[in-house]
Structure 1
Amino acid sequence: MSWIAKLKTRRPSLFWRTFLMLCGLIFFSVIGWLQSFRVLSELPYSQGVAQHIVSTVNITKYALVTADPLYRTDFLQALAAREGVLISPRDDTDRVVRIASDGSTGLIEQLVRAQLGQDTVLATKVNGNEGLWVTFDIDGDQYWLQTKDDALDPPYGTAWLWWAIAAGAASLFGATLLTRHVIDPLARLSQFATQLGQGRQPDPLPENASTAEIQAVNVSFNRMVKDLQNIEADRELLLAGVSHDLRTPITRLRLEIELSSLSDDSRTAMVSDLEQMENIVNQFLAYSRRSSEAQVMVNLSEALDAALHNARIESDSSVDLRKMTGKEKIGPDGSFPELWVMAHPLELSRAIQNLITNAMRYGRSDDGILHLSIGLEKSEDQRDAVLTVEDRGQGLPPEERERVMRPFERGESARTGVSGSGLGLSIVDRIVRRSGGSVELLSAVPRGLLVKVKFPVLAPSALKKALKETDKAADKIAKDEPEAEA
């Protein structure tokens, strides 16, 4: 699977989705606020600039009209030097670039014309000289008043930028706290449900939550877990009691059959039936038995080799065994690649034996030969150890695969010709889920059933840490033994 396909199938976490939604909401709220501020402040700003222009023109015009002609030149020079205001005659040949007629500048032009006359012209450049140019007349003569054009620029400065940065940082911090406050109870609930699905006993959820909704959910989940524990305990007690009580009459019947004067064929058939009954009882006991021991680091390849050795299928002439390792090269001794997982050793061995037993019962071809392929390799993302058990039997239709994973469910006995307790795959599924893995039933090519089991592989750092803890425990035991003998 390519990284693009993985990216498409990957679902974003609820934290990041909520966090990004809050950030987007804050961003668009700020943009809307800035737009509202600009619109609401546009009219007062335009009125102020227009009044400034009108006052400058009127005062300059009044000063020129009332000034003594002998001192008018000195007045214009002082006005240019101190106030930056230049007066020049207007000519029809002037090259004029008017101010924009939209936005705040258009509103300024309208307000200035309303007070100075509709013939007033406002420009940003005249004859190549930039500035704010305004026309006025004195006794019928047209003049230009030139001043600085910074009056048209809003005096925002840089203070707003620092305020925006501070507000953005505070908003992001608040969004993070709010998202954590909302997501943490859901994340705890998800972890709780995951542990429960793996068959582990999770710690109770806190029932003194800060919100009524989360408190009600936690109380309901704790009550549900307690009810499930009671149901599971009653079922285990029932299965264990029935299985234990059936062992004694089965053993007695087998002894009486062995001592009876029956024909060899009858004795063999009856013993076979009793062995099948005893096997079903053993399956009941295995299913009802729930280990309370902690999981430890287990070499999956060694467990698989041991299960194959105990099943004695390598020496069985009716079994065609093939070991596959995918991309990993098989060792010179025929062993599988070394992969470490967290599991209970006895339960892991029981799960592998059930897979092999299931294949031996239901996976034989029409010629009576079991073409068995067992593989062990790492997944493409290097996170899981993938154990595959493949046969060339009748297989299972897709609509029956989910059903046979449930307790006491079996395939069609008429099709397979074999009967059982219907607990083999259920035991495998429960053991694998307890280790955080999964079991999947697929169709083999060209025919048969493919059972794919995934276990989370220990990371190199976790593996080193577990090995160190194992070495420390062994050293402690070695030190304690001489002291005990002394």
Structure 2
Amino acid sequence: MRRPIDSLFGRLALLVVAVLLLSHFAWYALMRLERSQLQTRYAVEEATFLVDAVRQHVARTPDQPLPSRVKLVDPASPDVPAASANMPPPLARFVEDVRDRMPADTQVRVGPPGAPPMLWVRAVTDQNWIVVPVQPLRMPRSLDRTVLWLVIIFSFAVMAALFAAWALQRPLRLLAQAVARFGRGLPVPPVPERGPRELRQLTHGFNQMVQEVARTENDRAVMLAGVAHDLKTPLARLRLRAEMMDDAKTRDGVVRDVDSMTHIVEQFLLFAHDGADRSEPVEVDAQCERVVRSYRAVATSAPTVHTELNAGPSFLLPAATLDRILSNLIDNAHAYGAPPVVVATARTPQSFTLSISDSGTGIAAQDLINASRPFVRLDPARGGNGHSGLGLAIVERLVRRAGGEWEIGNHGGRGLRVLMSFPFDVLPRVATASENAW
């Protein structure tokens, strides 16, 4: 199961959202703290200004009434609040700030809790307590418009950051897809060179590598095909002359050698062929059954080929590709394995599978890595006439060209098994390519 967090975009998105969330939360906490401090400073300045205004009013116009909620209280009045030593920290800081702004030895008290907030101030020179209103020091706890704007800004920032992350990882995703196609042996069109400088350099290097590999493969294929093609005519003349020999024993030996050389030449031509298979898709189960029946009809060991076909009619492959895969693998199993040979298909949750296995001794573990390399013959098991070491290499190329993957190994100690898997998403493309060819 693919996890979104494993992708580059998923990790960039998670990182961006986490950084934006942390920065916005820190900004909001700092803003609330600064707002609280600003409110406290403003309340101190306002209270100091009101007390000074009342003193000037008493000194200059004592006969004029005081403003609303501002009053003078006699020190002997029972309404004078007692000095409290257990005030909340914000209120205690507020009282200390007001006291610092007043003359020395000024008494500063706060009205009783539950009533409108009032500040009681009496300096040494004051005859009465000066009582003035003060602003509430606590911010409202309900969500205000700041939080709404914060959410809006955060949403737009996340969308912009996700778009930037998507634009950054898109060239990497295209490059990763091209690398996957190149690894499967499929044609790779040039990848657009976009993104940061380092990514453009990487993409440019990959495009150059693909071009060089394609040029080398094409040169090798042309050389191999040319040599093989030029050998077909002299081999045909040699076979014709061999069949005209009088000595039957010599004639049969020469004909057998010519047939082996002809088979090698045909393998060379098949390996050098790099074009797309445009034959009509066929049902793999039905075609496997037909191929196995033909082997049973012509081979002396016909009963040793069995089938276990369970993929169903949805499993389609080009007819020529499938025939070449089956013929190479069944011939290989007959030549180097032991009966019975089993041709099996199945449907898994992710793909269709096709496997050919025999009951021989298999291949040594250290030789498995070289088994599918072209022109490699594993001695002594891979000796014999008419074999060029291309059979498994041809099968691997055909499977990858059809969009599949293959695995070669010893199957539970019962011989060699070649397991090929074809994902569901490549099968429609195979059928479409064949339809477009017509």
The whole-number CA distance in structure 1 between the counterparts of 2:362 and 2:232 is 33
Q: Secondary structure at the match of 1:451?
A: strand
Q: Hey, what does 1:30 align to over in structure 2?
A: 24
User: Retained in 1: the 8 A contact 2:242–2:254?
Assistant: yes
The whole-number CA distance in structure 2 between the counterparts of 1:308 and 1:164 is 71
Structure 1 residues not aligned, in runs of 5+: 1-5, 81-86, 331-335, 365-369, 478-486
1:291 aligns with 2:238: no
After TM superposition, give the deviation of residue 286 of structure 1 in Å. Answer: 0.6
The whole-number CA distance in structure 2 between the counterparts of 1:184 and 1:453 is 31
1:447 aligns with 2:402: no
Which of 346, 366, 374 is matched with 2:343 structurally? 374
Q: Secondary structure at the match of 2:137?
A: helix
Give percent identity, aligned residues only: 22
1:362 aligns with 2:328: no
The whole-number CA distance in structure 1 between the counterparts of 2:54 and 2:232 is 119
Q: Hey, what does 2:87 align to over in structure 1?
A: 98
CA 1:38 to 1:91, structure 2 compared with 1: closer, same or farther past 3 Å? Answer: closer
Give deviations 1:170-212, integer Å, cap 9, x for gaps.
21232133223322222232333344444444433446x5755
Which of 226, 229, 248 is matched with 2:211 structurally? 226
The whole-number CA distance in structure 2 between the counterparts of 1:383 and 1:166 is 42
Q: Hey, what does 1:312 align to over in structure 2?
A: 296
Q: Hey, what does 2:323 align to over in structure 1?
A: 349
The whole-number CA distance in structure 2 between the counterparts of 1:357 and 1:130 is 102
Q: Hey, what does 2:245 align to over in structure 1?
A: 260
After TM superposition, give the deviation of residue 347 of structure 1 in Å. Answer: 1.9
Q: Which 10-residue stretch deviates more, 157-166 or 30-39?
A: 30-39
Which of 105, 108, 111 is matched with 2:94 structurally? 108
TM-score by length of 2: 0.78
CA 1:62 to 1:309, structure 2 compared with 1: closer, same or farther past 3 Å? Answer: farther
Give deviations 1:391-441, integer Å, cap 9, x for gaps.
221212333322222222232x21455462121121111121122210111
Q: Which 10-residue stretch deviates more, 23-32 or 151-160?
A: 151-160
Structure 2 residues not aligned, in runs of 5+: 71-77
- What amino acid is the match of 1:224? M
Q: Hey, what does 1:249 align to over in structure 2?
A: 234
Which of 251, 254, 258 is matched with 1:274 structurally? 258
User: Retained in 2: the 8 A contact 1:394–1:416?
Assistant: no
Map 1:60-459; keep pairs closer than 5 Å. Answer: 79=69, 88-90=79-81, 98-99=87-88, 101=89, 107-115=93-101, 120=108, 126=113, 129=114, 132=117, 136=121, 150-153=136-139, 158-206=144-192, 209=194, 212-262=197-247, 264=249, 268-292=252-276, 297-312=281-296, 316-317=300-301, 319-325=303-309, 337-341=312-316, 343-364=317-338, 370-379=339-348, 382-411=349-378, 413-418=379-384, 420-458=387-425
CA 1:286 to 1:440, structure 2 compared with 1: closer, same or farther past 3 Å? Answer: same
Backbone CA RMSD of aligned residues: 4.4
Q: Hey, what does 1:482 align to over in structure 2?
A: none
The whole-number CA distance in structure 2 between the counterparts of 1:240 and 1:22 is 55
User: Retained in 1: the 8 A contact 2:356–2:419?
Assistant: yes
Give deviations 1:426-478, integer Å, cap 9, x for gaps.
11111211222101113312331221101122599x69x969x97xx9xxx9x
Q: Hey, what does 1:3 align to over in structure 2?
A: none
Which of 32, 36, 39 is matched with 1:45 structurally? 39
User: Retained in 1: the 8 A contact 2:44–2:98?
Assistant: yes
After TM superposition, give the deviation of residue 385 of structure 1 in Å. Answer: 0.6
- What amino acid is the match of 2:161? A
How many aligned positions are there? 426
After TM superposition, give the deviation of residue 148 of structure 1 in Å. Answer: 7.8
